Amino acid sequence: MDSILVRGNGPLKGSIPIAGAKNACLALMPATLLSDEPLTLTNAPRLSDIRTMTTLLQSLGAEVTSMQEGRVLAMSSHDLSNLTADYDIVRKMRASNLVLGPLLARAGRAVVSLPGGCAIGARPMDIHISGLEALGAAIELKDGYLHAEARQGLKGAVIEQRFASVGATENIVMAATLAKGTTVLKNAAREPEIVDLVKCLRAMGARIEGEGTATITIEGVDRLHGATHPVVVDRIELGTYMIAPAIAGGEVELIGGRIDLLPAFCEKLDAAGVSVTQTDKGLTVARKNGRIRAVDVKTEVFPGFPTDLQAQMMALMCTAEGVSVLEETIFENRFMHAPELMRMGARIDVHGGHATVTGVERLKGAPVMATDLRASVSLILAGLAAEGETVVSRVYHLDRGYERVEEKLSACGADVERIRGE
């Protein structure tokens, strides 16, 4: 099993290209199931989760061809030979549940295993289920599978989510594109990934308004056609690499980055003493002067501080001047990286959904273990600011969401290498 070796090597200098968004691409790929015409995605990230979704779509009868070294995905679902999303594939990734809405809308039936993914808390399917039931689907849980039917087709409805779930918003919006009548989705998620999905669906002929706001209106159409769509920049990869010069020092330009993708995060970095400047190519990020200042963070749905950047922000706060409090409101069990950071000399006290971090002047390298996707990269970032060597094991989590981390950081002067396992 691979591991990542990091040696603290001083300030960073250079540029890092930001890939297409994993979470956007994982929602865009199932959209192919809505049409019998080709859907092509450009700027796709090269990640294991994308390969898992490819395998899932192929198991349903879709054709998926990866081109230009994985940057382009050409898909066609003209023949859906199977309507069951099997546990052996779905268990690897929670986003697999995003085939449920499209299959129901197109075929009127779907059998989808309950999903898997990182162990960062229960992300229940009840919001997905209640939304699709409001559209007229009958859904029953049997033996770990959701058995869904819409024999008379889906029908538009007014749906108000109890929580602005990104995945449920994606599932409901995709299903509603082919429903009869108008659907109004209230308390919809507002994330850039939702906006990107709607842009793609609109290019396919869907009639949707309100993306990026709390209310999305979908007027159903009889069919969708093919399209070509570029995947939006990955704001979580962007935020992760923004932390790198903040924690290690130096200045890095992030190609393709945009402040509007991370408004609350950029505000917190500014308060901590990190300069973020929009350029013609992207964002330039640098530590202003001296030691980082402690700031408090509360994770929230967009446009608030992203839960997927909480672990990375905690790593930064470990060497900040003062005491910071990080509050996690989206997922339980998402402080599993804290004990690993403490192995590196961090001072962290976790109580329920709050973590209090007392900054230290310097972390120390140590062998640590990744517990989930974002935790794994937070340990690499911490290693950039540590004395000696840090070895991060179980980095198969990392490969689900970051492509070639060691290459991107090394190009900016970091001493980072992958150690291949047996």
Domain of 390: which CATH number?
3.65.10.10
C-alpha dihedral (219, 220, 223, 229), degrees to nearest 10: 50
Claim to verify: residue 259 and residue 207 sit in the same structural domain = no
Quick check: 19 and 237 in contact, CB under 8 A? yes
Residue closest to 173 by CA, chosen among 163, 186, 162? 186
Claim to verify: residue 346 and residue 270 sit in the same structural domain = yes
Look at 46-55, 85-94, 111-120, 303-312 and tell me which has the smallest mean pLDDT: 111-120
Query: Which pLDDT belongs to residue 421?
Result: 81
Which distant-in-sequence residues (6+ apart) come within 8 Å of 164 by Cβ? 187, 188, 189, 190, 214, 301
Claim to verify: residue 364 and residue 393 sit in the same structural domain = yes
16 is in an annotated binding site: no
50 is in an annotated binding site: no
Claim to verify: residue 280 and residue 172 sit in the same structural domain = no
Q: Which domain holds residue 149?
A: 22-230
**What is the rounded distance in angstroms from the CA atom of residue 207 to the CA atom of residue 203?**
9
Query: Which pLDDT belongs to residue 95?
Result: 85
Query: Which pLDDT belongs to residue 122?
Result: 46
**What is the rounded distance in angstroms from the CA atom of residue 132 to the CA atom of residue 339?**
40
Check whether 371 has a pLDDT greater than 80: yes
Q: Span 402-406, mean pLDDT?
A: 92
Question: What confidence tier does 124 reach under pLDDT thresholds 50, 70, 90?
Answer: low
Q: Span 360-385, mean pLDDT?
A: 94
- Burial, 279: exposed, middle or buried (Cβ in 10 Å; 0-12, 13-18, 19+)? exposed
**What is the rounded distance in angstroms from the CA atom of residue 57 to the CA atom of residue 79?**
11
Which distant-in-sequence residues (6+ apart) come within 8 Å of 267 by Cβ? none
* Helix 263-272 vs helix 310-317: crossing angle, to nearest 10: 0
Claim to verify: residue 226 and residue 239 sit in the same structural domain = no
Check whether 119 has a pLDDT greater than 60: no
How many percent of the chain have pLDDT more than 90?
85
Average pLDDT for the chain:
94
Claim to verify: residue 316 and residue 238 sit in the same structural domain = yes
Question: What confidence tier does 400 reach under pLDDT thresholds 50, 70, 90?
Answer: confident
Quick check: 161 and 126 in contact, CB under 8 A? no
**What is the rounded distance in angstroms from the CA atom of residue 283 to the CA atom of residue 415?**
23
23 is in an annotated binding site: yes
- Three-state SS string over the chain comes to CCEEEEECCCCEEEEEECCECHHHHHHHHHHHHHCCCCEEEECCCCCHHHHHHHHHHHHCCCEEEEECCCCEEEEECCCCCCCEECHHHHCCCHHHHHHHHHHHHHHCEEEEECCCCCCCCCCCCHHHHHHHHHCCCEEEEECCEEEEECCCCCECCEEECCCCCHHHHHHHHHHHCCCECEEEEECCCCCHHHHHHHHHHHHCCCEEECCCCCEEEEECCCCCCCEEEECCECHHHHHHHHHHHHHHCEEEEEECCCHHHCHHHHHHHHHHCEEEEECCCEEEEEECCCCCECCCEEECCCCCECHHHHHHHHHHHCCCECEEEEECCCCCCCCCCHHHHHHCCCEEEEECCEEEEECCCCEECCEEECCCHHHHHHHHHHHHCEECEEEEECCCCHHHHCCCHHHHHHCCCCEEEEECCC
Claim to verify: residue 73 and residue 200 sit in the same structural domain = yes
Number of domains in the chain: 2
C-alpha dihedral (344, 350, 354, 355), degrees to nearest 10: -20
Kindly report, residue by residue over 241-258, the tens digit of the pLDDT: 999 999 999 999 999 999
289 is in an annotated binding site: no
Residue 417's φ and ψ, nearest 5 degrees, are -145, 150
Residue closest to 248 by CA, chosen among 215, 286, 203, 283? 286
Longest CA span, the chain = 65
Claim to verify: residue 183 and residue 215 sit in the same structural domain = yes
Full-model pTM? 0.91
First to last CA, the chain: 6
Amino acid at 87: Y
Kindly report, residue by residue over 128-149, the tens digit of the pLDDT: 999 999 999 999 999 889 999 9
Asked which of 230, 258, 286 is the last residue of a domain, the reply is 230
Quick check: 80 and 108 in contact, CB under 8 A? no
**What is the rounded distance in angstroms from the CA atom of residue 337 to the CA atom of residue 369?**
8
Kindly report, residue by residue over 191-211, the tens digit of the pLDDT: 999 999 999 999 999 999 999
Amino acid at 208: I
Q: Span 72-101, mean pLDDT?
A: 92
Check whether 173 has a pLDDT greater than 80: yes
Look at 62-66, 122-126, 205-209, 262-266 and tell me which has the smallest mean pLDDT: 122-126
Asked which of 230, 256, 288 is the last residue of a domain, the reply is 230
Question: What confidence tier does 292 reach under pLDDT thresholds 50, 70, 90?
Answer: very high
Claim to verify: residue 15 and residue 53 sit in the same structural domain = no
Query: Which pLDDT belongs to residue 28?
Result: 98
Q: Span 163-179, mean pLDDT?
A: 96
Claim to verify: residue 202 and residue 158 sit in the same structural domain = yes
Asked which of 168, 199, 230 is the last residue of a domain, the reply is 230
The verdict on whether 25 is a catalytic residue reads no
Paired strand residues for 141: 146
82 is in an annotated binding site: no
Query: Which pLDDT belongs to residue 167?
Result: 94
Query: Which pLDDT belongs to residue 375?
Result: 87
Claim to verify: residue 303 and residue 162 sit in the same structural domain = no
Claim to verify: residue 283 and residue 139 sit in the same structural domain = no
CA triple 358-359-365, angle to 5 deg: 120
